[in-house]
Amino acid sequence: MNEAKISIIVPIYDSEEYLRECLDSLVNQTMKQIEIILVNDASPDHSDIIMEEYREKYRDIIKCIYLPVNLKQGGARNVGVNAANGDYIMFIDADDYVDITICEKMYKLADSEKYDLICSGYRMFGKQNREIDLFPDDICGELNDTVRKAIISIMSVGSVAKLIRKSIWIDNQLSFTENMKYEDLATMPLVWMYIKSVGKIDEPLYFYRRHQESTTLKENSVHTYQIFNAAQIAADRLRERGFAKDYSEEIEAIAIRGFMDEIKCCIQNMSVINTDELMQMRTEILDKYKDYENNRYFFLRSEPMEINAARCFINSFDSFVEKHADGTFAKEDTHYYSYYDLQKDQIIAMLQSYCALGQHIAIWGSGKKGMDFLSVVDPKCQYIEAVIDKNETKWGTYTDTGHKVYSYGEICTKIDVILVMNRFYFNSIRREVHQVNREVELVDMDMYIIRSLLGWG
Q: How many residues does the chain have?
A: 457
The answer to whether 88 and 192 have CB atoms below 8 angstroms apart is: no
- pLDDT for position 442: 97
Cα–chain-centroid distance for residue 47? 28
DSSP 121-150: EEEEEES--EEE--S-GGG-EE--HHHHHH
- pLDDT for position 2: 67
DSSP 213: T
Output the CA–CA distances (angstroms, integers) from residue 108 to 76, 104, 113, 159, 162, in the order listed: 28, 6, 9, 20, 13
The answer to whether 124 and 217 have CB atoms below 8 angstroms apart is: no
- pLDDT for position 217: 57
- pLDDT for position 259: 97
Provide the whole-model pTM: 0.93
In the three-class reduction of DSSP (H, G, I as helix; E, B as strand; rest coil), residue 219 is classed as coil
Torsion of CA 196, 174, 97, 49, to 10 degrees: 160
Query: Which residues of the chain have a pLDDT value below 70?
Result: 1-2, 127, 211-218, 457
Q: Is 422 exposed, middle or buried (0-12, 13-18, 19+ CB in 10 A)?
A: middle
Domains, the chain, in order of start with CATH, read 6-210 (3.90.550.10), 222-334 (no CATH), 339-454 (3.40.50.720)
- Give the separation between CA 103 and CA 99, rounded to whole angstroms: 9
Alpha helices in 366-423 (DSSP H): 368-377, 408-411
The answer to whether 205 and 105 have CB atoms below 8 angstroms apart is: yes
- pLDDT for position 219: 75
- Give the separation between CA 276 and CA 446, rounded to whole angstroms: 36
Q: What are phi and psi of 160, to 5 degrees?
A: -85, 170
- pLDDT for position 32: 96
- pLDDT for position 409: 94
